[in-house]
């Protein structure tokens, strides 16, 4: 019993320790980001420069300035439409690129970096 | 598989399915690994594979994702528990060893999904998936380790007792060939 308690506590502490050590992407406290929305034909339908403050997520900034539609999931919000560009999230989805690289997080988890370009375009689910 | 064994497998599937739905509010905290480790000790390999197949199908139907890119790795991942226990730890009943197995398995389970995500998304770089999944694997690993460590022995004992009782209840009281 005593050994089980010790082992359980050790595993929890070890897990927490590794969790803390994991590299996390940090954003800037404030600045401007550039938003580009590209339609299915490859035409840019929106280009805007928006400012952000500390604790702002990409969702907060988009929600303040651009017409968007989202749906909440257990993993965070998913983007269903932005500036008239919409998807069903079954056959296609809105792809987010940051400075030309595919984003590894959604609009709630993406940390904002001053001067970065956030590109939104529709991609099909394979 | 006899009818009474099929009933037991069906009950086992129900328990796995219900606990997973109840614990869904906490991402990756589950008793599925612990239960499948326990089932690997009380059911045969064939029964375990059947159980996992039905569970994955049921889970996919309920969650509305009959998607082969999720179903296939789930099927492979969960099947690894009875198969690897059958091959590498066939007689182990030590809960500490099995808890360690559950911890390692939680990482392996996440890795099984990587090639399927790569095919689905068309992004052929494996390390972002690996990195992104580590926090979830840690949570799953810790919850698997602790749950196996604490519930393995009492649950195996309880299930075996109940199975014996059931076997006893199903014994025919009248044999047609008896005079």
Number of domains making up chain A: 1
pLDDT higher than threshold 80 for residue A25: no
In a domain, A89, yes or no: yes
CB-based contact B142 A125, cutoff 8 Å: no
pLDDT, tens digit (0-9, with 9 covering 90-100), for B20-44: 999 888 877 889 999 999 999 999 9
In a domain, A19, yes or no: no
Do B27 and A74 contact (CB within 8 A), yes or no? yes
How confident is the model over A17-26, as a mean pLDDT?
76
Nearest CA in chain B to A92: B121
Q: Which domains does chain B have, with CATH numbers?
A: 3-169 (1.10.1760)
In a domain, A113, yes or no: yes
Structural domain including A60 reads 31-124
Q: Closest partner residue to A12 among B99, B134, B142, by Cβ?
A: B142
Q: Closest partner residue to A4 among B119, B138, B149, by Cβ?
A: B149
In a domain, A23, yes or no: no
How confident is the model over B57-80, as a mean pLDDT?
89
| Contact with chain B for residue A22, Cβ under 8 A | yes
> What CATH number does the domain containing A85 carry?
2.170.130.30
Question: Given the DSSP bridges, would you call strands A31-38 and A44-52 parallel, antiparallel or unpaired?
Answer: antiparallel
In percent, the amount of chain B with pLDDT more than 70 equals 94
pTM value is 0.72
């Amino acid at each position: 019993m005593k050994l089980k308690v010790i082992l359980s506590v050790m595993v929890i502490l070890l897990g927490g320790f590794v969790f803390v050590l994991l590299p996390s992407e940090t954003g800037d406290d404030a600045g401007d980001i550039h938003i580009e929305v590209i339609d299915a034909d490859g035409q840019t339908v929106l280009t805007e420069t928006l400012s952000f403050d500390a604790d702002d997520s990409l969702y907060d900034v988009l929600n303040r300035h651009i017409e968007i539609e989202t749906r909440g999931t257990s993993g965070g919000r998913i983007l269903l439409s932005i500036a008239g560009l919409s998807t069903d999230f079954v056959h296609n989805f809105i792809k987010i690129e940051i400075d030309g690289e595919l984003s590894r997080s959604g609009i709630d988890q993406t940390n904002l970096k001053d001067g970065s370009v956030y590109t939104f375009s529709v991609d099909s689910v394979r | 598989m006899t009818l009474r064994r099929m009933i037991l497998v069906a009950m086992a599937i129900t328990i796995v399915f219900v606990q997973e739905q109840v614990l869904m509010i906490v991402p990756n905290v589950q008793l599925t690994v612990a239960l499948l480790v326990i089932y690997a000790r009380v059911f045969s390999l064939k029964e375990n594979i059947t159980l996992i197949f039905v569970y994955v199908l049921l889970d996919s139907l309920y969650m509305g994702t009959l998607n082969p890119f999720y179903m296939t790795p789930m099927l492979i991942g969960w099947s690894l528990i009875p198969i690897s226990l059958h091959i590498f730890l066939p007689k182990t009943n030590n809960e500490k060893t099995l808890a360690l197995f559950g911890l390692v398995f939680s990482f392996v389970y996440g890795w099984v999904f990587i090639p399927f995500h790569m095919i689905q998304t068309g992004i052929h770089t494996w390390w972002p998936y690996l990195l992104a999944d580590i926090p979830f694997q840690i949570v799953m690993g810790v919850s698997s380790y602790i749950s196996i460590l604490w519930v393995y022995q009492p649950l195996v004992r309880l299930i075996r007792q109940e199975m014996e009782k059931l076997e006893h209840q199903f014994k025919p009281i009248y044999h047609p060939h008896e005079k």
